[in-house]
Amino acid sequence: MPSKTALIPTTDGQADAFAAFPDHRGRHPGVLLYPDAFGIRPVLRELARELAGHGYYVLVPNFFHRHGPAPVVELPEHIGEEARPELVARLMPLIKAHTTERVLSDADAYLRFLTTQPEVSAGPVAVIGYCIGGLLAVRTAAAHPGQVAAVAGFHGPVGADGPDRRRLLSRLTAQVHLGHAETDMTPETLGELNRELDAAGVDYTSEIYPGTVHGFTMSDTDAFNPSALRLHWERLLPLLGRTLSND
């Protein structure tokens, strides 16, 4: 599967990124894939390559680029529970510094880069994200309603509770899938979120994946759940197939 590294011009310097795309000629629908907070690493490249194998050009940006190239913190080969607290503590200041203004400015740059690649077809794109990347995906889709046709978030926040989240959801025109971990979302909070999605008129599916903890798609962590990763593909690929035209 062809892949490359790239530098994306942003208002605050260049963002390093990874791209994967099909190995046959032609142009393909674009997908912007936001990683989790641990960033671009082998498991994210593997996810991007697998998705590219289904006919998509997949761009994975380092959204912490202001703090250096990925990985911005040194990561073990396997992120076990004993290592996670220290890593999260080091990443939390970066997460807090990644304001909504920065998210939206970067999203403009990422989409501009993605849609001008010679391998990317004209037409709408999809945005997907994992962990904090799920929130970035939703914010990006809400800010680009005419361009983003599908958005998916897995084991990630959807936005702040209350009026801010309702305003965010009200701007979504994309079809949406949200796959939540059992440890992130109770049935009661899921019901509240889904009622807000209904009130906003969003075309969506939103569900708790059984037997999961936060981070269930990431095979380099203790949270990994193979059956939940399969369910993630079973939800994601039809969503992209419905919303993106594949040349």
Distance CA(161)–CA(199), nearest Å, equals 15
pLDDT of residue 158: 86
Q: Which two tokens stand for residue 6?
A: 């790239």
> 156 and 129 in contact (C-beta within 8 Å)?
yes
- Of 54, 220, 31, give the one whose Cα is nearest residue 129: 31
- Region of 125 (left: φ > 0; alpha: ψ -120 to 50; beta: rest) is beta
CATH architecture assigned to 3-243? 3-Layer(aba) Sandwich (3.40)
pLDDT of residue 246: 59
Q: Which two tokens stand for residue 119?
A: 């391998």
Residue range 170-197, pLDDT digits in tens: 999 999 999 999 999 999 999 999 999 9
pTM of the full structure: 0.97
Across the chain, which distance is largest between two alpha carbons, in Å?
Answer: 48
Flag residues of the chain having pLDDT under 50.
none
Q: At what angle do helices 163-170 and 132-143 cross, to 10 degrees?
A: 50
- 15 class by beta-carbon count within 10 Å (0-12 exposed, 13-18 middle, 19+ buried): buried
pLDDT of residue 122: 95
- 76 class by beta-carbon count within 10 Å (0-12 exposed, 13-18 middle, 19+ buried): exposed
Query: Cα dihedral sign for 121, 175, 138, 152?
Result: negative
